[in-house]
Copies of this chain bind each other. A is one copy, B any other.
Amino acid sequence: MRIHTETLTLQTKTSEALYDITAMLQSCVKQSNIKMGQLSIFIPHTTAAVTVNENTDPDVAKDMTMSLQKNIPDDPAFRHLEGNAHAHVKASVIGPSLTLHIQDARLLLGTWQGVFFCEFDGPRHRKIHVQAWGT
Contacts and interface: CB of A to CB of B under 8 A. Distances in A.
A45 interface: yes
Interface in A44-77: 44-46, 51-54, 57, 59-60, 62-64, 66-68, 70-72, 75, 77
Given A3-B135, A108-B42, A101 B129 contact: yes
A15 interface: no
A95 B51 contact: yes
A99 B133 CA distance: 14
Contacts of A63: 78-80, 85, 88-89
Interface in A80-105: 80-82, 85-86, 88-89, 91-101, 103
18 contacts: A1-B1, A38-B40, A42-B100, A42-B108, A45-B112, A45-B113, A46-B54, A46-B110, A59-B79, A60-B85, A63-B78, A63-B85, A67-B72, A67-B75, A94-B95, A96-B98, A97-B98, A101-B131
Given A3-B36, A63-B85, 12 more contacts: A38-B40, A42-B108, A43-B110, A44-B108, A45-B113, A46-B53, A51-B96, A71-B71, A71-B72, A92-B94, A96-B113, A99-B99
